[in-house]
Amino acid sequence: MLTDTDIQIIQYLQGDIPLESRPFAQLAEKLGISEAEVVERIQWMQERGLIRRLAAVLRHREAGFQVNAMVAWNVDHARADEVGRYFALDPQVSHCYWRQVPEEFGYNLFTMVHARSQQELKERIEKLSKCQDVKDYIVLESLQEYKKVSMQYF
């Protein structure tokens, strides 16, 4: 069972954590506990699967990646894990999902690919295609970003 303190820690972790040597110091002070206890509670929640992972989220546009596209690939089911793992490891791929889709659509593996230019995007997609021998794909370029927020659970 989560305590009020655990919920406050989760709320903090869902926000923008300061990029500094002691990112939990201010939270610990606010909660009236030590920084070590904050870290221990986070580890406890991770060990129980309540928190899956902690990760930095790159704001790709601010980092210079102005062009991005959803690429839908037609991948044989038998190769889905192999191809998906390869695509997911690519540094310019931020999302990679295997989806159940209507048979007539045909594209079942989806990646979000980011680049600094149209040419770089084209080259990256061609590289992914060639390296995994997946030639059937469609590119759905992003025209405008409407919403970019993290999920808030509490």
pLDDT tens column, 17-54: 888 999 999 999 999 999 999 999 999 999 999 998 88
| Distances in whole angstroms, Cα of residue 11 to Cα of each of 20, 85, 150 | 19, 31, 11
Q: Is the pLDDT of residue 16 over 80?
A: yes
d(CA 96, CA 84): 7
d(CA 104, CA 101): 8
Is 98 in contact with 134 (CB distance < 8 Å)? no
Q: Is the pLDDT of residue 148 over 80?
A: no
